Structure 1
Amino acid sequence: MPVAMGPYGQFQPSCFDSVMMSFVMGCAVGMAAGALFGTFSCFRIEMWVQELIGGIGKAMMQSSSTFGIFMAIEMGIRC
């Protein structure tokens, strides 16, 4: 499938590349948000060190996957 040309002759990324790029961007934003909110919630319920690391990691993974999937779906609709 031919790739579209931009106004100055540069190549535009394909739809699949755009969806994957938005998924990765959503995962990065979700990781940051999960780290902030996970740390706050774990400190709020007074977890110990071992539980704290697991709780923050779980919040980061859940948040990054959610943000990534929603960003990928949004970019798929825009393509």
Structure 2
Amino acid sequence: MPVAVGPYGQTQPKCFDRVKMGFMMGFAVGMAAGAMFGTFSCLRIGMRGRELMGGVGKTMLQSGGTFGTFMAIGMGIRC
């Protein structure tokens, strides 16, 4: 299959680059959602200070990783 070339001589991104970009976009969206939901849930159970920051950070990383993984899988299917 020939490589598609854009109007200015650019080639299309490779499949791995698309999967990587999907993971990064999903990770960013998941981190934002994790910040909102993590802050709310940690404040609701009474966390304060360092414990609050640790709980919110953990929630952000978990939701970012999860959503990023699913976005990467979706982009991989589209390749």
Using the size of structure 1 for normalisation, the TM-score is 0.89
CA apart distance, 1:21: 0.5
Q: 2-side partners of 1:10 and 1:48: how far apart? A: 51
Tell me the amino acid that sits aligned with residue 11 of structure 2.
Answer: F
The equivalent of 1:41 in structure 2 is 41
After superposition, the C-alpha distances for 1:15-54 in whole angstroms (9 at most, x for unaligned) are: 1100000100011001101000000001111112111011
Moved over 4 A (4+): none
Q: 1-side partners of 2:3 and 2:55: how far apart? A: 44
CA apart distance, 1:14: 0.7
The equivalent of 2:22 in structure 1 is 22
Q: How does 1:1-79 map to 2 (within 5 A)?
A: 3-6=3-6, 8=7, 9-79=9-79
CA contact (8 A) 1:23 1:71 kept: yes
Unaligned runs of 5+ in 1: none
Q: CA RMSD in A?
A: 1.3
CA apart distance, 1:3: 4.0
